[in-house]
Amino acid sequence: MSSTLPIGIFDSGIGGLTVASAIHHLLPKEQLIYFGDTAHLPYGDKSPEAIKYYSLKIAKFLLDNKCKVIVIACNTASSHAFHELVHFLGDQIPIINVIDPVIDKMLKTDRYKKIGVIGTKSTITSDIYAKKFKEANPEIQVSSLATPLLAPMIEEGFFNNTISHTVINSYLSSPKLKGIDSLILACTHYPLIKKEINEFYKGKIDIINTAEIVADYVKERLTKLSLLNNDKPPQHQFYVSDYTSSFESSTRLFFDEKIHLTHYPIWD
């Protein structure tokens, strides 16, 4: 496999752009192909069966576009579709989720005893973080809270304002999150409100930015496979299943340049 092939990334909307941006800044010579399934966002209120179907369809699209690795830049899809995608792709290309790298990194220190997790209904219902932490270290406590309004709010551009402050403060005041020493942002949309979350906690707990951790893991994985690109300048490609002006604005915000957004109705 050629190292000049692109990295495929997908999410239901703009949330995965936090992961794509982190990868872009860490690996500026890599070409990215991003697919935002805006026709079905948010994934958090969809059934596991639907999420698996969407993920398999998108993975085939990225495979057909000769990606050398696929990053599931969505906690919900990582929770419900990762194993199906691994089975589907076999040994054709590596596939990376956004959950395992975060858990592995946090387990490398003994500073975390009571971890909070916020995410979509589907991710929290899967209880995947609590299960994986318990398997690795039964002494770690995990308190999970579904925060279903956050992803749609962010998708519509409502963050760093009065509306977002009110919604965020309401969720984080939940008794379920009392006494935590760290908080996993278990939705790739949430790094966009990390500043507001940090303000709520007044910097007293660690806010875990999954995007940066996943980007580090992608670099590590590509390095081990001798697939890091050192030649080809990036010409990123962005696809959406349903065009939205807010998505186009967000891509420009993350990549500091004019982005050509291609409407690709994968479901037609």
Residues belonging to the active site: 74, 187
Give the residues across from 34 on adjacent strands: 9, 238
DSSP-H helix ranges across 127-243? 128-136, 150-155, 162-172, 194-201, 210-224
Gap between the Cα atoms of 105 and 91, Å rounded: 25
The answer to whether 240 and 263 are in contact (CB under 8 A) is: yes
| Contacts of residue 24, Cβ cutoff 8 Å, sequence gap at least 6 | 30, 32, 234, 236, 254, 255
The DSSP symbol for 239 reads E
- Number of C-alpha atoms within 13 angstroms, CB side, residue 116? 25
DSSP code at position 205: S
Task: Tell which phi-psi region holds residue 180, choosing left (phi > 0), alpha (psi between -120 and 50) or beta.
Answer: beta
Query: Helix (H, G, I), strand (E, B), or coil: what is residue 138?
Result: coil
Looking at residue 46, the DSSP 8-state letter turns out to be S
Q: Which are the contacts of 64, defined by CB distance < 8 A and separation ≥ 6?
A: none
Q: Rounded distance, CA 115 to CA 123, Å?
A: 16
